[in-house]
Structure 1
């Protein structure tokens, strides 16, 4: 039984429900961020991230910096692209558009590819045509865009980029995918993945987590101009990360010891079992949820099965039901879902996050509770399947 106070079950696309031991780690006594105890914990945490991202390449560099997932965009845009350089952004919704905005803030020239309709993704022939038309410093893709629930395919995309434009860096926004969707950093030859602590990793919000390839680091070192950032600078953070991983105290800006302890606990739990088992568990739960949604006569924003994320589901509502009517009924049943945020369809859908302990802990009944609440809530709104 959980020791947490009674509370509504949080099933939005992040933050998610947290394990008791992870939350307990947050209550760790205060300690020096350069003391031997914390240095050892932080060093182990950085090393564990290599296993989570599935990289054994010593030239790859993990970063854990206080901030939200959005900080990852700044780290990428500020360090790996110079003003005036071309970037190809593959957008499947709100967060892909946001990544494009971030690049433009640093002076990059952005070409944005979008799907033919909301709920789809740019297709490989379209991407190949763009890559052949112009030389891009970087291609970015949002692995799971939480505004649409669209899952982008990485392996074939990487093969395409390496074949058509091998110098181009491939960077992934994995905020809503790391630890619930398969990501093989080395095998798929990814150059960067940025994520955050509060989604499938299962640690409270406040940490920007990323991994960059040796190729990306070399691209940074080959810059002609210094990065237009201070806090997000590779120059300032790289020696800190390398020193901590080597169990040497180091300082640039103060980390959050309590959050690092919580991340250490979350990663220890994740890596206690094969990652393949974790990904399979999320796929199985997702399949069950999507079948239940279909059985209710509802459609997903992500229209094709191969484009549907496994850690969340974006669900179109019946025309007779408003999100502003349904969400309070779910809340009354003890379940918190999110409303829509994609500007073209925002009032028409809701979002159900199903990742982390809500899926992996068999003692919890979060998914069943949510599906029952959805069915009953729709009935209360006057909808009949």
Structure 2
């Protein structure tokens, strides 16, 4: 089976380091075992280091990245106004989640491959008071990178009380995030993308301001599993190197996350940001040299952990994806509702980027180039 396994180069799950996979093989272990408690506590502390925060509160909970959206139930109350800076599929669905809890949503949209301008955002927050502004840092459907630093600056200048919530599912671990310096309030992610761990952990980082909003809300939290009243004491206990229990944590996944975070934080985060930017820039140049066009419309709005590429005439997703798979490389088709059949997506993050000796990126380029030729594509 190992010989038949394809290199997983979709925008998540990504390739996992052998040591991370070995950690998943940890024997059955109690979640209150004296050996596990400090591992979980140190994991929580390392999450802060990844987003460059000294004072934020991480939550590491069993679930997908989508559970992070659901945890906004701790901050949103029925009738709250929320501005969604929308760059694709995941902006739409983050909004849908918040609407479930009674939020009144205003969408700020841009054409596919672009992002709302700073001027548009400034105008929006100057004309209405919002409880929260959400922004998808990298929308996995389009590969568009949002300028979360500028978004936070604009929002906080207009309304310091407004919470800035970043969907970082496809950005944490591969894109620059400076939680404290940029005055962010929420960063949401999952284990399976830039953090390089199998799916199954939802990770949310909350600012002191967000925690204060949670603690002083007027209404009861209409959720049980997502409720921070349940989870905050657990996170605090493990970080204090004491056991706690609300719901059983995914012990083996936390061991795996601990291993991956040890690797990630063994060098400055700036080194990791720069390497992802360099590899992504080179990959975008390769796409251009092949005569192809990426979905993201500008260099500064292009993600560094993935690339979405418009299909050339005469080539379809059902042709291209299997062609690369036959060469041992798994890529993804499109996801945006209106254009899913018109483009494909490739991930480049984690060990595939940080460890050159693996030659993952080159294998993708070779497989893509030869597959396009086989399918009759010729550069104009």
TM-score by length of 1: 0.97
Correspondent of 2:102 among 101, 104, 107? 107
Q: Which residue of 1 aligns with 2:54?
A: 56
Q: Which residue of 1 aligns with 2:69?
A: 73
Residues 1:166 and 2:152 are matched in the alignment: no
Correspondent of 1:197 among 170, 191, 202? 191
Structure 1 CA distance, aligned partners of 2:159 and 2:314? Answer: 49
Q: Which residue of 2 aligns with 1:319?
A: 313
Structure 2 CA distance, aligned partners of 1:68 and 1:263? Answer: 14
Structure 2 CA distance, aligned partners of 1:213 and 1:360? Answer: 29
Correspondent of 1:184 among 159, 174, 178? 178
- C-alpha displacement at 1:334, in angstroms? 0.6
- Gaps of at least 5 residues in structure 2 are none
Q: 3-state DSSP class of the match of 1:288?
A: helix
Q: Which residue of 2 aligns with 1:95?
A: 90
Q: Could you list the per-position Cα deviations for residues 196-248 of structure 1 after superposition, in whole angstroms to 9, with x for gaps in the alignment?
A: 00001001100001110000001111111011100000100000000100001
Correspondent of 2:250 among 256, 260, 265? 256
Q: Which residue of 1 aligns with 2:344?
A: 350
Q: Which residue of 2 aligns with 1:330?
A: 324
Q: Which residue of 1 aligns with 2:238?
A: 244
My pick for the range that moved more, 5-14 or 271-280, is 5-14
Structure 2 CA distance, aligned partners of 1:278 and 1:135? Answer: 37
Residues 1:286 and 2:284 are matched in the alignment: no
- C-alpha displacement at 1:111, in angstroms? 0.4
Matches within 5 A, 1:263-278: 263-278=257-272
Matches within 5 A, 1:115-130: 115=110, 117-130=111-124
Structure 1 CA distance, aligned partners of 2:127 and 2:277? Answer: 37
- C-alpha displacement at 1:189, in angstroms? 0.5
Structure 2 CA distance, aligned partners of 1:268 and 1:5? Answer: 29
- C-alpha displacement at 1:145, in angstroms? 0.3
Q: Which residue of 2 aligns with 1:42?
A: 40
Correspondent of 1:23 among 21, 24, 27? 21
Structure 1 CA distance, aligned partners of 2:120 and 2:289? Answer: 34
Structure 1 CA distance, aligned partners of 2:38 and 2:3? Answer: 32
Matches within 5 A, 1:358-377: 358-377=352-371
Q: 3-state DSSP class of the match of 2:358?
A: coil
Q: 3-state DSSP class of the match of 2:169?
A: coil
How well do the aligned residues superpose, as a CA RMSD in angstroms?
A: 1.0
Q: Could you list the per-position Cα deviations for residues 165-195 of structure 1 after superposition, in whole angstroms to 9, with x for gaps in the alignment?
A: 1110001000000010000000000001000
Q: Which residue of 2 aligns with 1:141?
A: 135
What is the number of residues matched between the two proteins? Answer: 379
- C-alpha displacement at 1:31, in angstroms? 1.2
Q: Which residue of 1 aligns with 2:81?
A: 86
- C-alpha displacement at 1:6, in angstroms? 5.1
- C-alpha displacement at 1:343, in angstroms? 1.0
TM-score by length of 2: 0.98
Structure 2 CA distance, aligned partners of 1:210 and 1:100? Answer: 17
Runs of 4+ in 1 over 6 A off after TM superposition: none
Structure 2 CA distance, aligned partners of 1:338 and 1:31? Answer: 36
- C-alpha displacement at 1:156, in angstroms? 1.3
- C-alpha displacement at 1:133, in angstroms? 1.5
Structure 1 CA distance, aligned partners of 2:50 and 2:197? Answer: 14
Q: Which residue of 1 aligns with 2:30?
A: 32
- C-alpha displacement at 1:158, in angstroms? 1.1
- C-alpha displacement at 1:348, in angstroms? 0.6
Structure 2 CA distance, aligned partners of 1:344 and 1:311? Answer: 23
- Gaps of at least 5 residues in structure 1 are none
- C-alpha displacement at 1:5, in angstroms? 5.4
